[in-house]
Structure 1
């Protein structure tokens, strides 16, 4: 593929300096390490659940406004991957990392300013927050996609280095940062709630630094592309075709968008992943309802969730490889995580309707959430690659990620409506939010049904899954 003028311009300085400073092998390894650092940094958006209490107490946002911010952020995360794939194919991952830096740094700086100036009108502040988190969501996908593509291009021969490790690093992000936010410096006096002015300001500084590292890593990929083009040019000079070929949309790509199985799989993902995203965003709100006298519990829950999510991502990759060696189908792993997700929703319903529960029960639900969330987001791309193949992976997976965006928006809005109608007026304690988990339990049940139907379709088509 020809290197575009934009990719040439973005990578020019690194391509000139890097060979003078490091050997080919060292620069290759360094680029991979920098890509993993980028993957770790791209998951900060998962901490949005910790912002609910400060927003409510300091900026006077209501539950509907907070859930709308969460939904817009998730829309930014999930709606842009198809477009990012086009950008990456045309201009390389260096464009994605550059766009991510341009989106992250100003957005977090503005959010820090808004929190430090609560005298700004609530509606004005809310509108700015909506815009900033939309950019942050899109930048999250851009940075992670850039990291994933860079790792895949640097080490295409091993799935552990190309897919598993960057995915695990993404899950590790929220765990590491949640530990960092335990420091007293990030809290108001008596640890009432997080000082988001300091939190967002710190994030802006981190992303400015990570942007520089990602620039170096992605420019290394551009260097590889230049060398590949030089080799292809030499070969083309000897074997130049008489007729020039023209690019067109491959027939198998067109057939993907006509495949009913793809839409059924997307519907299943919408029903299952939407509630998971909603719960990661509202875990702090639920914790405050069930345990109103433990303001720091939400931070503990995020740490537990992030830890189990990270471990599960890594173990899912290992178990999937083991299944492959044994010629066992990974579809059972997917079905297992969906079934566990159904148990999670029923457990959350029990948690909010039971009068006296201990912190250990909340921590248990948080660990189960991490297992289902991390495992689901690891096995889904594996299933997509098996069913639709490597050539269609970018198109198929990027398109599938639109489904969780729709599911997250609808589920978060349902949560906000129930909360503002029942819980905001102090009705029945934590029981007020129980209708949400009845709904999400039904969603998971429907998702499992659709997946079982898909298994029958794939079996008739002789799909090796």
Structure 2
């Protein structure tokens, strides 16, 4: 990023009035008078608290998407889906959760999180309801000799696509609400990560509900696998109701003030001179009598003083569009996004395939010490939640922070607040989390857990901790560098990467699994090719070696965005 020239900086005083922004509106004076009203302050605190509480619960229930491994293996054993079909469902769910995120984030920034919550209610309720019906139909087909879910598989993919999109709407609406409502808080990182941690905790809570309450009873009365039909119906009802509640309670408080402050911050940095809007305003401040086009009032929000609402909406749209362009043209964002993709993809694939990975640890003849997928879904969810909260807390307590919640320019206005002597960059925390995650993939790739399921907690714990911390620090880094006012759009663009990573590694894992299954005991015993299961180290080892190297490469790319050529450190960005 280049520093404005002296001539450009000389124009800065012409771009603002002593009292407010050149794009300012009467809302700033109104907000000052409102601030002195104790009843209004109390009402706003109450609205923030309600929005925060609903965001936490919404994110918790949206975590249902992370428990796919709780029932994914039952699609294979009960419905006779192949490993490729199971990964096809998981990949479709992951893609539908992440691919629309830029559009969903764009909508959230412009229309608010309430309408997105309503959309989530429809999609999640309908998706899980449809999946419940299809699973029941698939059981009937399988009992009649049906193979590979010929009639249930395509609509099952559609159901999980709806679940993925609905989860994205609910999840992004929750974290955007917290990011914007608590941007000025001393612990803004922790407040924003609270719904992210709740999302991870949702996996543990819902997996325990499924395995301990909504379970199948075996003939001897013992507890069996989760009852998938009942579990899907439970999620259908809960998520539909919660989405409707969020429609009325998820909102951004004092959003007009947030936009006004962001505009003033950009004016102080001298980044608005290139805009036709501000050049015209500067000329008008000089007292020039240049002719102005008739449509100038449409281009310049400050000209529309008679309609405050339209003025505020136009100003908001202009600011968000400008910040989106700024975000997309920042080369460090692309280094960071690709690095995030390389790191988070293996974690996503592991979560989706945890059940089948555990199934490869023992042959059919030696299953006495087998561990359960539900146990490790809970381990991952618990460790991930702790890691998210710990990473956010360390970020707030140890890392330097800019003086405001808006986009950083690298100019003196972005100087950090004073901190204690000990200071640790958020990038150091990010890379450390990736290293912890690579320990889990490395241990699994080495084969030391084969025939030793009691050691698998090392894998699920390490990957869960690293995955949770990386996912926690990523939105914090985005808000610290590029501000909160356009957070939904910015985070949505970066969040495309997990979908690509999950799909790529899911396909690689499936291919290695299918090849390894050829030498598994099931084929030797004359089993049907459609029901082949893979047992042994050959089912996963090469995949997780490659994942480990991938995580290391991604870490180097993030470090380059920080310390490399024209990186954040050299530009004076506080991170």
Q: What TM-score do the two structures reach when normalised by structure 2? A: 0.70
- Equivalent position of 2:124 in the other structure: 104
- Equivalent position of 2:542 in the other structure: 435
Counterparts of residues 51-66 of structure 1 (less than 5 Å): 51-66=71-86
CA deviations 1:211-263 (Å, max 9, x no partner) are 23212313xx389779999xx99x95599999x97854755532432333222
Unaligned runs of 5+ in 1: 2-21
Q: Is the 8 A contact 1:353 1:434 kept in 2?
A: no
Q: 1:340 aligns with which of 417, 422, 436?
A: 436
- Equivalent position of 1:81 in the other structure: 101
Alignment of 1:455 with 2:540, yes or no, is no
Residues 109/330 of structure 1: CA separation in 2 closer, same or farther (3 Å cut): same
Q: Aligned equivalents of 1:250 and 1:445: distance in 2?
A: 34
Q: Aligned equivalents of 2:502 and 2:309: distance in 1?
A: 51
Counterparts of residues 237-248 of structure 1 (less than 5 Å): 237=306, 248=318
Q: Aligned equivalents of 2:488 and 2:574: distance in 1?
A: 20
Q: Is the 8 A contact 1:152 1:161 kept in 2?
A: no
Q: Give the 3-state SS of the residue equivalent to 1:193 in structure 2.
A: strand
Q: Is the 8 A contact 2:130 2:159 kept in 1?
A: yes
- Equivalent position of 1:207 in the other structure: 239
Deviation beyond 6 Å, 4+ runs, structure 1: 222-229, 238-242
- Equivalent position of 1:145 in the other structure: 172
- Equivalent position of 1:197 in the other structure: 229
Residues 261/208 of structure 1: CA separation in 2 closer, same or farther (3 Å cut): same
1:32 deviation in Å? 3.0
Unaligned runs of 5+ in 2: 1-22, 24-41, 260-300, 400-418, 522-533
Q: Aligned equivalents of 2:245 and 2:172: distance in 1?
A: 15
Alignment of 1:300 with 2:375, yes or no, is yes
Residues 396/92 of structure 1: CA separation in 2 closer, same or farther (3 Å cut): closer
Q: Give the 3-state SS of the residue equivalent to 1:43 in structure 2.
A: helix
1:442 deviation in Å? 1.6
1:314 deviation in Å? 0.8
Alignment of 1:393 with 2:487, yes or no, is yes
Larger helix fraction of residues: 1
CA deviations 1:253-300 (Å, max 9, x no partner) are 324323332222221111110000001111111111114626661110
Counterparts of residues 114-133 of structure 1 (less than 5 Å): 114-118=134-138, 119-120=140-141, 122-133=149-160
Q: Is the 8 A contact 1:267 1:447 kept in 2?
A: yes
Q: 1:357 aligns with which of 452, 455, 459?
A: 452
- Number of positions where the alignment pairs a residue of Structure 1 with one of Structure 2: 438
Q: Is the 8 A contact 2:62 2:202 kept in 1?
A: yes
Residues 56/393 of structure 1: CA separation in 2 closer, same or farther (3 Å cut): same
- Equivalent position of 1:262 in the other structure: 333
Residues 251/184 of structure 1: CA separation in 2 closer, same or farther (3 Å cut): closer
- Equivalent position of 2:198 in the other structure: 169
Q: Is the 8 A contact 1:353 1:431 kept in 2?
A: no
Q: Is the 8 A contact 1:340 1:372 kept in 2?
A: yes
1:348 deviation in Å? 1.2
Q: Give the 3-state SS of the residue equivalent to 2:452 in structure 1.
A: coil
Q: Aligned equivalents of 1:116 and 1:303: distance in 2?
A: 26
Alignment of 1:366 with 2:460, yes or no, is yes
- Equivalent position of 2:161 in the other structure: 134
- Equivalent position of 1:216 in the other structure: 248
1:412 deviation in Å? 0.4
Alignment of 1:322 with 2:397, yes or no, is yes
**Rg (Cα) greater in structure:** 2
1:375 deviation in Å? 0.4
Q: Give the 3-state SS of the residue equivalent to 1:166 in structure 2.
A: helix
Q: What TM-score do the two structures reach when normalised by structure 1? A: 0.85
1:161 deviation in Å? 6.7
RMSD: 3.3
Q: Aligned equivalents of 2:338 and 2:309: distance in 1?
A: 47
Alignment of 1:420 with 2:514, yes or no, is yes
Alignment of 1:383 with 2:483, yes or no, is no
Q: Aligned equivalents of 1:130 and 1:444: distance in 2?
A: 29
